[in-house]
Structure 1
Amino acid sequence: MKAQPIHTIRLILIPFTLEITKTLMAGDTSILQQLGLQLTPYWPDQEAIDTFPKIIHNLEKVPEPNGFESYMVVHRHSMTVIGDAGFKGLPNTEGEVDLGYAIITQAQKNGYGLEVAQGLVNWAFQQTNVKAVTARCLLANVASARVLERLGMQQVSSDAELIRWKLPKPVTQATIK
Structure 2
Amino acid sequence: MVAEKVVETGNLRLVPCDAQLLKMAIKGNKQLSEFLGVSLADHWTQFGVGALQYALDQILARPWELGWWTYFPIHKLDNMLIGSGGYKGSPTEEGTVELGYEIAPGYCNRGLATEMTRGLIMKAFTDNRVKSILAHTLGQANASTTVLTKCGFTKIEEIESTEDGLIWKWELIRPELVGGVITFC
Same fold (TM over 0.5): yes
What is the match of residue 19 of structure 1? 20
Q: Does 1:170 align with 2:168?
A: no
CA 1:56 to 1:66, structure 2 compared with 1: closer, same or farther past 3 Å?
closer
Contact 2:73 2:82 survives alignment (8 Å):
yes
CA-CA distance at 1:28 after TM superposition:
4.9
What is the match of residue 9 of structure 1? 10
Deviations 1:128-168 (A, max 9, x none): 11111111111246110111111111111012321001111
Contact 2:40 2:82 survives alignment (8 Å):
no
- The whole-number CA distance in structure 1 between the counterparts of 2:16 and 2:168 is 27
* Matched residue SS, 1:99: strand
Q: Does 1:32 align with 2:33?
A: yes
CA 1:81 to 1:141, structure 2 compared with 1: closer, same or farther past 3 Å?
farther
Deviations 1:58-104 (A, max 9, x none): 22233366321110111011111000010000101110010100001
CA 1:120 to 1:46, structure 2 compared with 1: closer, same or farther past 3 Å?
closer
CA 1:42 to 1:8, structure 2 compared with 1: closer, same or farther past 3 Å?
same
CA-CA distance at 1:36 after TM superposition:
2.1
What is the match of residue 183 of structure 2? none
CA-CA distance at 1:31 after TM superposition:
3.4
* Matched residue SS, 1:171: helix
Gaps of 5+ in 1: none
Contact 1:48 1:83 survives alignment (8 Å):
no
Q: Percent identity?
A: 27
TM-score for both structures, normalised by structure 2: 0.84
CA-CA distance at 1:42 after TM superposition:
3.2
What is the match of residue 136 of structure 1? 136
Contact 2:132 2:174 survives alignment (8 Å):
yes
CA-CA distance at 1:54 after TM superposition:
2.3
- The whole-number CA distance in structure 2 between the counterparts of 1:149 and 1:46 is 22
- The whole-number CA distance in structure 2 between the counterparts of 1:47 and 1:92 is 23
1:17-96 equivalences under 5 Å are 17-43=18-44, 45-63=45-63, 66-96=66-96
TM-score for both structures, normalised by structure 1: 0.87
CA 1:141 to 1:61, structure 2 compared with 1: closer, same or farther past 3 Å?
farther
- The whole-number CA distance in structure 1 between the counterparts of 2:155 and 2:64 is 33
Cα root mean square deviation, aligned = 2.0
* Matched residue SS, 1:19: helix
- The whole-number CA distance in structure 2 between the counterparts of 1:5 and 1:48 is 22
Count of paired positions? 171
CA-CA distance at 1:30 after TM superposition:
2.3
CA-CA distance at 1:170 after TM superposition:
0.6
In structure 2, what residue type is equivalent to 1:117?
A: T
